[in-house]
């Protein structure tokens, strides 16, 4: 990485086009939060499916050993690399990968992660330039709907497209795993909402941990009960509504005490496939998650909700992602070649 | 050699395999960070935490397409992603018995000091590249042994190379001269490592050195070097030792030719050594020196305060004008060949002065003559056993030294000043004979243990220390090489250890390692030295740019304590038995009773010893007859010192004879 930019540099460096303006030294934008999380706070509805019919706290019992052995996370990086005739071109990188925990408790890569790097721009405006180049270019405009010709709008659209690719990669990786381990006793824990084709299995062994609380599913009275959960307590089971994905069962779980902290400190929302087994195992899965608190994922700032194997997954993906220095070097060569 | 540059990093492994014929030896990759950048002299690499083949002292190769950097691991680090112990404490709820669900990734990083880089010019920082364990070829290149291994290489140990052992050679031109010379061994006492290491290296030299060479060992304590010609006790050596001998091309056997020398005890008939078991004592030659041998070294054994310019002048006069010459003193002819003659000569001189009322004799003052007489006549008494009062001399075979022979001189039971005399004279003779090319061999190794004692960094300047300094500074030009050992290197004279081209370190005391002389070693290397197991050493040699850890086998030589247990020293023999035993060296068939009868007939013990020594020196065909005839009968024959003094009386009125003997 980044082969794409190298190829681009070698392909168009000789083209003395004064309209190409290379941007060197800008920072990467990393998307830390799960891609399925809305960018702005919102409310949504939910259907409580807890047998008691309430969201009230339920003690899950004493954690012992976790049943998870596979962990999935995704990442993305994007950066404005040039303007061509005033049109911003964004370099984007997204990846998703799975790590597995061996009997020795060490983390190993489960195959190669899925990765994609591409340039993001409105194709209709730059088609001529990239037409013959063998590089991955993603059109930031959806078919039949042209964006206004405003660089900031293009940048926002590119951001969304990179996130979409990341989500897609995560879904692909998850689906592959589900196919590979269908019928086994192995469990996959994913960062964020569960994705992929989980709905095609009767009882897939997959659980998602959502660290963000941008969406509020309950009125304030019930929300207070959730915020008041103590360590080792979960909320009642519910089905989040208003999603354009197959339904899942969900519940809140307090991992760490929030005394003196934000109300949401140590609070996660768990997602699991909508099936009877989830109802039966909700406490056990909660105990697994509590067991995953050690080791602590410090120095991550989200350590109260970030489980260590997920962080390991994230670190693994980051180690493979193109660094700012490498991109800077390529762009500098590019700019120098054009000078 | 780098055959051809490659342009693709993907070819690294292939390239390395082609040139050194090793595969699957990659153990890590070079890393370079801002905090720990690589330089031309050191680099860092990481390995799997499960890799058991890397440790302090391991030789590695960082091979990039264009460069190969050979290094030795000098420091190791291991860390996880844990930033603070507090994080672990919180994660485990403060309960150390709790097990985390996931093990944190642990990385092992090592620092390697560069031994060699190919190509050597231009000298550049070590590149980021795969790191391999050095194989035999790699070890030879890393230690620059490829330039001398097959010509002047002396195998000294084995480097643990993964699961295999690679021989490590040192260059004889830098061990035995003329480029550099001398070997110094340091280590704590009690592990037998120092002695074993020296013994093994001597065996290896005998096997691999291409020129003639002999060894003179001074046994300074106990029975350390008294059984060099006997194999080790059963079960002392295991298969591993034999395999190591085989890998190093050194026969697993004791020294083939060993000659022992020891002075007599004060009784001058029993040898002053622990090798007196009847089975072994025949192989011990007495070390007995006479006036000729000692007078040149009077400075060594006389108190410095005694040897002022006047005394020195008189001693020089005696050396030049009296010894081995017939002179006339006070009207009497006298030939001085031994201490007894010298005593008679002094008597004559002083009597001449007294009778003639002279205060000076040939410009030497009476007091000086009396003082020198007093000191010199004391020597044969003080060093009775080593210095013979008569003309009996038994010495090392000067001019007839044999190739591949060890000459052990047992001075363990001598008092320090006598040890000084033995060291100084033997080394002086070695140097003299080597200078004139008349020793019999071209090279001699002098082995001295307890250098702390004999050449201390501070303390009085002794002749022995001067002698050792002289060997270490000038010996290599003559073929005179010093192999020395001590417990505390820091306490040995700097010029002696500084002149040792090759240095070996066994297990070291931490206090010693804290002294300034070890500052160049990393803390990990020091830690390893402090816990070095028996049979492992660290070597510094001019060809090696960094110290190297090697293993060496136990030599198949009987240890001193085992030898004493198997061949216990004999009790001191009575005179007649001792005489018979000594004479039977000349002819094992001589009759014990016949010798006993001769001894019984002679009442003067000194005369018996003198006759015995004379017989031993002459090596007659019939030792018993020669012994009998050598005994001077006392009937009316008195030696000059036995002559009574004469008092002159006035012829008194009583008419008695004025010349009366009183």
Taking an 8 Å cut-off on Cβ atoms, the answer to whether B84 and A298 are in contact is: yes
Whether residue B549 lies inside any domain: the answer is yes
Tokens of B110: 């090592």
Rounded CA gap, A88 and A19, in Å?
12
The residue from B564, B594, B612 where one domain ends is B564
Helices (H), B69-115: 85-91
Task: Let me know whether B180 and B130 are in one domain.
Answer: no
Rounded CA gap, B609 and B579, in Å?
8
> CA of A174 to nearest chain B CA: how many angstroms apart?
22
Locus of tokens 């194999």: B231
How many residues does this entry show for chain B?
Answer: 662
Q: Is the dihedral of CA A32, A37, A42, A46 positive or negative?
A: negative
Per-residue pLDDT, A47: 95
Side-chain half-sphere exposure of B590, counting CA atoms within 13 A: 25
Q: Which residues of A touch B105 (CB under 8 A)?
A: 106-107, 312
With contact defined as beta carbons under 8 Å apart, do B624 and B594 qualify? yes
Q: Which residues of A touch B104 (CB under 8 A)?
A: 295
Collapsed DSSP state (helix, strand, coil) of residue B467: helix
Whether residue B190 lies inside any domain: the answer is yes
Residue from B99, B102, B105 to probe the interface with A (highest A Cβ count within 10 Å): B102
Locus of tokens 């009322």: B357
What's the pTM value of the predicted model, to 2 decimals?
Answer: 0.75
Task: Let me know whether B206 and B247 are in one domain.
Answer: yes
Q: Which residues of A touch B103 (CB under 8 A)?
A: 104-107
With contact defined as beta carbons under 8 Å apart, do B320 and B313 qualify? no
With contact defined as beta carbons under 8 Å apart, do A68 and A62 qualify? no
Position A265 pLDDT exceeds 90: yes
**What Rg value do the Cα atoms of chain A yield, rounded?**
22
With contact defined as beta carbons under 8 Å apart, do B350 and B327 qualify? no
Residue whose C-alpha is closest to residue A75's, from A117, A110, A34, A107: A34
Task: Let me know whether B408 and B522 are in one domain.
Answer: yes
Whether residue B646 lies inside any domain: the answer is no
Compute the CA torsion angle B490, B492, B493, B499 (nearest 10 deg). Answer: -90
Position A1 pLDDT exceeds 60: no
Determine which helix (DSSP H) or strand (DSSP E) holds B601, and give its type and residue range. helix B592-601
Rounded CA gap, B573 and B581, in Å?
9
Task: Let me know whether B38 and B175 are in one domain.
Answer: no
Taking an 8 Å cut-off on Cβ atoms, the answer to whether A294 and B105 are in contact is: no
> CA of B49 to nearest chain A CA: how many angstroms apart?
11
Task: Let me know whether B113 and B247 are in one domain.
Answer: no
Minimum-distance CB partner of B103 among A104, A291, A296: A104
pLDDT higher for A338 or A270?
A270
Per-residue pLDDT, A145: 80
Task: Let me know whether B426 and B549 are in one domain.
Answer: yes
Q: Which residues of B touch A106 (CB under 8 A)?
A: 102-103, 105
Side-chain half-sphere exposure of A175, counting CA atoms within 13 A: 12
Whether residue B474 lies inside any domain: the answer is yes
Position A37 pLDDT exceeds 70: no
Rounded CA gap, B644 and B284, in Å?
41
Task: Let me know whether B107 and B186 are in one domain.
Answer: no
Nearest CA in chain B to A63: B101
Q: Which residues of A touch B92 (CB under 8 A)?
A: 294-295
- Chain mean pLDDT for chain A: 88
Q: Domain limits at B482?
A: 165-255+404-564
Whether residue B590 lies inside any domain: the answer is no
Size of interface A-B (CB pairs under 8 A): 53
pLDDT band at residue A338 under the 50/70/90 scheme = low
Rounded CA gap, A302 and A306, in Å?
6
> CA of A299 to nearest chain B CA: how many angstroms apart?
7
Task: Let me know whether B425 and B558 are in one domain.
Answer: yes
Taking an 8 Å cut-off on Cβ atoms, the answer to whether B101 and A292 are in contact is: yes
Taking an 8 Å cut-off on Cβ atoms, the answer to whether B87 and A295 are in contact is: yes
Minimum-distance CB partner of A294 among B84, B101, B105: B101
ipTM over 0.85: no
> CA of B11 to nearest chain A CA: how many angstroms apart?
19
Per-residue pLDDT, A276: 94
> CA of A291 to nearest chain B CA: how many angstroms apart?
7
Per-residue pLDDT, A31: 56
Number of Cβ within a 10 Å radius of residue A21: 15
Whether residue B551 lies inside any domain: the answer is yes
Per-residue pLDDT, A312: 94
> CA of B533 to nearest chain A CA: how many angstroms apart?
32
Compute the CA torsion angle B236, B240, B245, B248 (nearest 10 deg). Answer: -150
Whether residue B272 lies inside any domain: the answer is no
Residues of chain B scoring pLDDT < 70: 1-23, 192, 304-306, 633-662
Taking an 8 Å cut-off on Cβ atoms, the answer to whether A296 and B98 are in contact is: no
Compute the CA torsion angle B380, B382, B385, B386 (nearest 10 deg). Answer: -70
Q: Which residues of B touch A105 (CB under 8 A)?
A: 100-103
| CATH code, domain with B548 | 3.40.50.300
> CA of B102 to nearest chain A CA: how many angstroms apart?
5
Collapsed DSSP state (helix, strand, coil) of residue A283: helix
Q: Which residues of B touch A315 (CB under 8 A)?
A: 81
Paired residues of B323 in beta bridges: B336
Per-residue pLDDT, B614: 81
Number of domains in chain B: 2
The residue from B527, B545, B564 where one domain ends is B564
Residue whose C-alpha is closest to residue B26's, from B159, B130, B135: B130
Q: Which residues of A touch B100 (CB under 8 A)?
A: 105, 294-295, 308
Rounded CA gap, A304 and A296, in Å?
8
Compute the CA torsion angle B492, B497, B498, B504 (nearest 10 deg). Answer: -140
Task: Let me know whether B557 and B412 are in one domain.
Answer: yes
Q: Which residues of A touch B98 (CB under 8 A)?
A: 294
Collapsed DSSP state (helix, strand, coil) of residue A173: helix
> What are A's interface residues with B at a Cβ cutoff of 8 A?
65-66, 101, 104-107, 291-296, 298-299, 308-309, 312, 315
Task: Let me know whether B50 and B99 are in one domain.
Answer: yes
Per-residue pLDDT, B499: 92
pLDDT band at residue A272 under the 50/70/90 scheme = very high
Per-residue pLDDT, B21: 43
Q: Which residues of A touch B108 (CB under 8 A)?
A: none
Per-residue pLDDT, B453: 87
> CA of A293 to nearest chain B CA: how many angstroms apart?
6
Residue whose C-alpha is closest to residue A74's, from A7, A212, A174: A174
Phi and psi, residue A86, nearest 5°: 80, 0
Task: Let me know whether B169 and B124 are in one domain.
Answer: no
Minimum-distance CB partner of B104 among A66, A293, A295: A295
Rounded CA gap, B30 and B129, in Å?
5
Per-residue pLDDT, B640: 46
Taking an 8 Å cut-off on Cβ atoms, the answer to whether A309 and B82 are in contact is: no
> CA of A117 to nearest chain B CA: how many angstroms apart?
23
Q: Which residues of A touch B88 (CB under 8 A)?
A: 295-296
Rounded CA gap, A223 and A225, in Å?
5
With contact defined as beta carbons under 8 Å apart, do A237 and A50 qualify? yes
Task: Let me know whether B178 and B88 are in one domain.
Answer: no
pLDDT band at residue A189 under the 50/70/90 scheme = very high
Locus of tokens 């001894």: B599
The residue from B564, B588, B606 where one domain ends is B564
Residue whose C-alpha is closest to residue B447's, from B490, B481, B493: B481
């Amino acid at each position: 990485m980044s082969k794409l930019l190298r190829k681009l540099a070698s392909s168009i460096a000789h083209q003395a086009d004064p309209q190409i303006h290379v941007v060197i030294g800008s920072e990467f934008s990393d998307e830390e939060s799960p891609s399925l999380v809305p960018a702005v706070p919102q409310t949504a509805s939910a259907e409580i499916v807890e047998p008691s019919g309430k969201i009230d706290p339920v003690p899950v019992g004493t954690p012992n050993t976790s049943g998870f052995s596979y962990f999935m996370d995704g990442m993305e990086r994007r950066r404005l690399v040039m303007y061509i005739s005033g049109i911003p071109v964004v370099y984007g990188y997204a990846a998703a990968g799975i790590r597995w925990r061996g009997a020795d408790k060490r983390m190993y890569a489960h195959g190669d992660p899925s990765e994609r790097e591409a340039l993001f721009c409105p194709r209709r405006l730059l088609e001529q330039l990239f037409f013959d180049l063998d590089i991955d270019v993603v059109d930031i405009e959806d078919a039949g709907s042209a964006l206004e010709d405003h660089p900031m709008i293009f940048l926002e659209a590119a951001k969304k497209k990179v996130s979409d690719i990341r989500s897609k990669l995560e879904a692909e990786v998850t689906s592959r795993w589900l196919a590979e381990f269908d019928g086994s006793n192995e469990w996959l824990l994913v960062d964020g909402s569960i994705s992929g084709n989980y709905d095609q299995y009767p009882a897939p062994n997959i659980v998602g941990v959502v660290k963000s609380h941008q969406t509020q599913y309950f009125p304030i009275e019930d929300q207070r009960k959730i915020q008041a959960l103590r360590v080792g307590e979960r909320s009642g089971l519910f089905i989040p509504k208003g999603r354009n994905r197959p339904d899942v069962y969900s519940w809140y779980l307090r991992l760490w005490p929030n005394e003196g902290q934000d109300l949401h400190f140590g609070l996660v929302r768990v997602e699991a496939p909508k099936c009877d087994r989830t109802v039966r195992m909700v406490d056990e899965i909660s105990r697994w998650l509590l067991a995953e608190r050690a080791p602590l994922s410090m120095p991550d700032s989200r350590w109260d909700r970030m489980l260590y194997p997920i962080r390991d997954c994230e670190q693994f993906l980051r180690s493979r992602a193109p660094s700012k220095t490498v991109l800077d070097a390529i762009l500098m060569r590019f700019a120098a070649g054009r000078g | 050699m780098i055959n051809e540059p490659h342009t693709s990093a993907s070819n690294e492994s292939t390239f390395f395999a082609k040139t050194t014929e090793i595969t699957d030896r990659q153990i890590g990759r070079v890393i370079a960070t801002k905090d720990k950048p690589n330089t031309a002299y050191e680099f860092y690499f990481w390995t799997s935490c499960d890799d058991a083949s890397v440790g302090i002292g391991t030789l590695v190769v960082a091979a990039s397409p264009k460069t190969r950097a050979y290094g030795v691991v000098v420091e190791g680090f291991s860390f996880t992603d844990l930033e603070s112990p507090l994080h672990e404490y919180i994660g485990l709820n403060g309960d150390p018995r709790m097990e985390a669900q996931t093990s944190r990734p642990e990385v092992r990083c090592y620092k390697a000091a560069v031994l060699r880089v190919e190509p050597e010019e231009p000298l550049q920082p070590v590149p980021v590249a795969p790191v391999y364990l050095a194989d035999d070829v790699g070890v030879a290149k890393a230690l620059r042994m490829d330039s001398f291994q097959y010509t002047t290489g002396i195998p000294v140990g084995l480097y643990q190379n993964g699961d295999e052992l690679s021989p490590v050679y040192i260059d004889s031109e830098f061990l035995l001269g003329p480029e550099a010379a001398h070997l110094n061994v340091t280590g704590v006492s009690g592990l037998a490592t120092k002695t074993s290491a020296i013994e093994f290296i001597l065996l290896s030299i005998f096997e691999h050195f291409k020129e003639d060479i002999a060894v003179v060992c001074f046994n300074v304590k106990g029975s350390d070097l008294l059984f060099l010609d006997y194999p080790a006790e059963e079960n002392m050596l295991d298969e591993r030792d034999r395999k190591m001998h085989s890998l190093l091309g050194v026969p697993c056997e004791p020294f083939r030719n060993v000659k022992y020398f020891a002075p007599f005890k004060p009784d001058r008939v029993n040898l002053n050594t622990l090798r007196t078991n009847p089975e072994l004592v025949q192989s011990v030659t007495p070390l007995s020196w006479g006036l000729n041998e000692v007078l040149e070294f009077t400075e060594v054994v006389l108190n410095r305060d005694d040897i002022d310019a006047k005394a020195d002048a008189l001693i020089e006069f005696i050396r030049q004008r009296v010894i081995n010459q017939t002179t006339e003193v006070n009207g009497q002819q006298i030939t001085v060949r031994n201490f007894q003659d010298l005593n008679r000569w002094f008597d004559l001189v002083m009597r001449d002065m007294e009778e003639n009322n002279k205060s000076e004799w040939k410009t030497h003052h009476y007091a000086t003559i009396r003082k020198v007489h007093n000191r010199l006549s004391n020597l044969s008494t003080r060093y009775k056993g080593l210095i013979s009062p008569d003309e009996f001399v038994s010495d090392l075979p000067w001019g007839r030294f044999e190739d591949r022979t060890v000459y052990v001189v047992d001075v363990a039971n001598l008092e320090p000043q006598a040890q000084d005399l033995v060291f100084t004279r033997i080394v002086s003779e070695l140097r003299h004979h080597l200078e004139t090319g008349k020793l019999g061999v071209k090279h001699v190794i002098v082995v001295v243990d307890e250098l702390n004692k004999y050449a201390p960094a501070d303390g009085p300047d002794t002749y022995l220390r001067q002698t050792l300094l002289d060997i270490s500074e000038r010996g290599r030009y003559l073929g005179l090489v010093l192999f020395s050992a001590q417990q505390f290197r820091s306490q040995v004279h700097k010029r002696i250890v500084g002149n040792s081209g090759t240095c070996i370190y066994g297990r070291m005391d931490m206090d010693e390692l804290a002294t300034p002389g070890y500052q160049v070693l990393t803390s990990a290397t020091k830690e390893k030295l402090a816990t070095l197991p028996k049979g492992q050493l660290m070597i510094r040699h001019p060809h090696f740019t960094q110290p190297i850890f090697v293993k060496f086998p136990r030599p198949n030589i009987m240890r001193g304590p085992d030898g004493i247990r198997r061949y216990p020293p004999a009790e001191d023999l009575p005179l007649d038995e001792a005489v018979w035993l000594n004479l039977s060296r000349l002819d094992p068939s001589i009759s014990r009773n016949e010798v006993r009868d001769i001894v019984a007939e002679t009442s003067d013990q000194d005369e018996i010893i003198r006759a015995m020594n004379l017989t031993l020196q002459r090596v007659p065909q019939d030792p018993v007859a020669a012994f009998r005839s050598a005994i001077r009968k006392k009937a009316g024959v008195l030696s000059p010192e036995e002559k009574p003094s004469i008092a002159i009386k006035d012829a008194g009125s009583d008419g008695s004879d004025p010349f009366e003997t009183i």
